[in-house]
Each structure stands twice: as C-alpha cells, then as structure tokens.
Amino acid sequence: MAHLVDIFEVARRGTRVEGTLKPAELPELSKLLANEEGRLSYAAEGEGDRRGHPAARLSIEGEVFLTCTHCGKPVAVRLESEAVFLLARSEEEANAMPIEEDAEDEDVVVGSKRFNLAEWAEEEAILTLPSAARHDACDEAEWAQTPDDEPEAPKRPNPFAALAALKTKK
C-alpha cells in the first residue's frame, strides 16, 4: 500500500493525511522488534508556512514489541511523538536552513511531490524507540531481590595455594 503524497501541497493547503501501518510494512523498524505484532498510526498535517518554508506536523502513535532486556521475551512498548518539520526541496536547501534556538519543536526534512509518509513515520518511530525495554514484573523482581537471594558463586581453588604447593615440592 503506497503512502505517497505531494507534501508541499499538504503543507500549503493545511490538509491532514492519516494512515495505519503494521510492523511488517516497515522493514527498518521491524529489524529492531521482537516480533511483527502491533501497529503504528500516523497523521501528517499541513502547517502552511513557517519561517519562510512550507511546514507539516507529523504525529505518530502506536504499540510495538521489543525484546525485554531482563527475560528476553517480547514486551509491549508504546510509541508517541509529534513534531513540526520545515520542508526543504533539496539536501542543500535543508543544510542551509538556519537553526533557531527558540524553535525546539521544529526539524527539517527534504520533501517531494511523491513523499513517502510510511517511511517518514517509520523513521520517527525508530527515533522514538527506547534504548532498552523491560516488563514491569521484571523490574519489580530485580528490585525485590536481596543479596541473600543471589546464588552463591562456586568456590574455586586459590591459585596461590597451588603455587605454594609447587614451591614446597623442591
């Protein structure tokens, strides 16, 4: 299913384009996931003109499954992000755009007349993923564990005792 739009027209007209994607439709994102369950919804809405450039707001929300860093099983992760993007017509134009300190909610993206909203939403979802995910129960189990609960490490012979035994054999 193609999610192609003229992003400059979306910005100029102030229109809203929405869609829902499955992780299987997002190859780069799915490489990072525990499975292909879940969904990602996006909405791109034209913002007219900002600082002399066409602009659009991208909102994403959904749920995907990462691998729990504690138990190794899939854990549901909620994704939510919203940002305004200034649209450039080329990489050169994007690189030439001044960064304004008071515009923290603005990013820059190179747009086109055949702009792929699914790829844009996928990129934003990847940037939104947490660096690590855990089940709440795994976190509670870790905090509940006391030093007495830890298994005792197997005792190994002292390497210096073996050296001392060699020294006495002379």
- Per-residue pLDDT tens for 137-164? 886 555 445 455 555 666 666 666 666 6
Contacts of residue 52, Cβ cutoff 8 Å, sequence gap at least 6: none
Bridge partners of 85? Answer: 56, 107
Given pLDDT bands bounded at 50, 70 and 90, which one contains residue 88? very high
Q: Decide: helix, strand or coil at residue 34.
A: coil
Of 51, 52, 23, 26, whose CA–CA distance to 38 is shortest? 23
User: Across all residues in the chain, what is the average pLDDT?
Assistant: 85
Torsion angles phi and psi, residue 21, rounded to 5: -125, 150
Given pLDDT bands bounded at 50, 70 and 90, which one contains residue 103? low
Q: Decide: helix, strand or coil at residue 22.
A: coil
Number of Cα atoms under 13 Å in the Cβ half of residue 40:
31
What is the pLDDT averaged over residues 4-31? Answer: 95
Distance of CA 134 to the CA centre of its chain: 15
pTM of the complete model: 0.76
In the structure encoding, which two tokens stand for residue 164, read together?
A: 């001392």
What ranges do the domains of the chain cover? 4-135
For 31-61, write each residue's pLDDT tens digit: 999 999 999 999 999 999 988 899 999 999 9
